[in-house]
Amino acid sequence: MKGMNRLFPVLGVIVLTAACSGDVASTPVPTQPGSFAPPTVVETFTGTVSILGTDSHPFNVPVPGEVDVTLTRIEPATDTSAPPAAGTALTLAIGLPSQTVLGSCATVQSVSATPSSTPQIKGHALASAFCVSVTDPGNLTDSISYTVTVAHP
């Protein structure tokens, strides 16, 4: 699980590239250690994922800072849905809002995740619009509902 605690390297490159292609005077890039703000806002997203489905939610990071993404809960979507097997993993991803063939969240970093109170994705991001998505990689036997938290500055 070492890879989850890395800086979002591709994310930084994408955001820097986007900033360079438009207004250069947008957001300054922090260069000093510790110049990333800690998470102070926790957004909670809920939704439903069907077999081989995906669901995403947009969020904004207003200043450069730490971003922690946690899949906290999965359970049957309805009273008649089959419960997910113990240890059922979903794909949890952070990305950039964009219309793609696979949905509205272009993945920058993803992990296989089971519900936990510990962030499965943890890193730093520049100020920008982002999205979080939950996808069934083929492990579900019925629809599930889920809860994801995103902590950011």
Beta carbons of 109 and 9 less than 8 angstroms apart: no
Q: How far apart are CA 4 and CA 16, in angstroms?
A: 21
What is the reported pLDDT for 32?
53
What is the reported pLDDT for 100?
64
CATH of domain 2-24+36-152: 2.60.120.380
* pLDDT tens column, 6-26: 444 444 433 433 333 333 333
Residue 10 exposure: Cα atoms within 13 Å on the Cβ side: 8
pLDDT-derived band at 35, boundaries 50, 70, 90: confident
What is the reported pLDDT for 117?
96
Q: Is the pLDDT of residue 144 over 70?
A: yes
| Cα Dmax for the chain | 54
Residue 37 phi/psi, 5-degree rounding, is -70, 145
What is the reported pLDDT for 20?
39
**Domain assignments of the chain as residue spans, ordered by start:** 2-24+36-152
* pLDDT tens column, 53-109: 999 999 999 999 999 999 999 999 888 888 888 889 999 999 999 876 666 889 999
Query: What sign results for the dihedral spanned by CA atoms 23, 14, 133, 138?
Result: positive
What is the reported pLDDT for 143?
94
Q: Using the structure block, give the residue that is written with the tokens 């939950």.
A: 134
Please give the model's pTM, rounded to 2 decimal places: 0.75
Q: Using the structure block, give the residue that is written with the tokens 């930084």.
A: 12
